[in-house]
């Protein structure tokens, strides 16, 4: 019976080793802690990326705006309005219109 000192019988009658079960539970708990630490790192990284994306969206919001008439794109002293009714309004110091066969600079 010397070989069976550390064994007990489980619910279905199979031999179990309490020491092995304790070691397995410790390893599992350690791996759960490692998984939790990894998950926390991933959440921190994702939070950082969301903050970066939010700042970029704020910068874009200063340039491109949806207005009741359509869409406004503004950069410096220039502005382009794309209207819902199909119109386009260009506002700037100098406007160059380039189409196939025609290149025109307007002041």
Model-wide pTM > 0.85:
no
Per residue in 4-13, pLDDT (tens digit) is: 444 445 556 5
The tokens of 5 are what? 């000192």
Per residue in 49-73, pLDDT (tens digit) is: 999 999 999 999 889 999 999 999 9
For residues 53 and 59, give the distance between their C-alpha atoms in angstroms, rounded to a whole number. Answer: 10
Band (14; pLDDT cuts 50, 70, 90): low
Burial class (CB in 10 A: 0-12, 13-18, 19+), 81: middle
The ranges assigned to domains in the chain are 12-62, 68-107
């Amino acid at each position: 019976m010397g070989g069976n000192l550390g064994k007990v019988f489980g619910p279905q009658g199979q031999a179990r080793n309490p020491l092995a079960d304790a070691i397995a539970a410790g390893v599992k708990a350690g791996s759960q802690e490692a998984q939790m630490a990894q998950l926390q790192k991933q959440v921190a990284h994702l939070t950082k990326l969301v903050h970066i994306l939010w700042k970029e969206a704020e910068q874009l919001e200063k340039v491109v705006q949806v207005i009741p008439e359509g869409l406004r794109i503004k950069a410096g002293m220039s502005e382009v309005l794309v209207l819902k009714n199909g119109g386009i309004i260009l506002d700037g110091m100098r406007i160059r219109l380039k189409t196939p066969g025609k290149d025109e600079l307007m002041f």
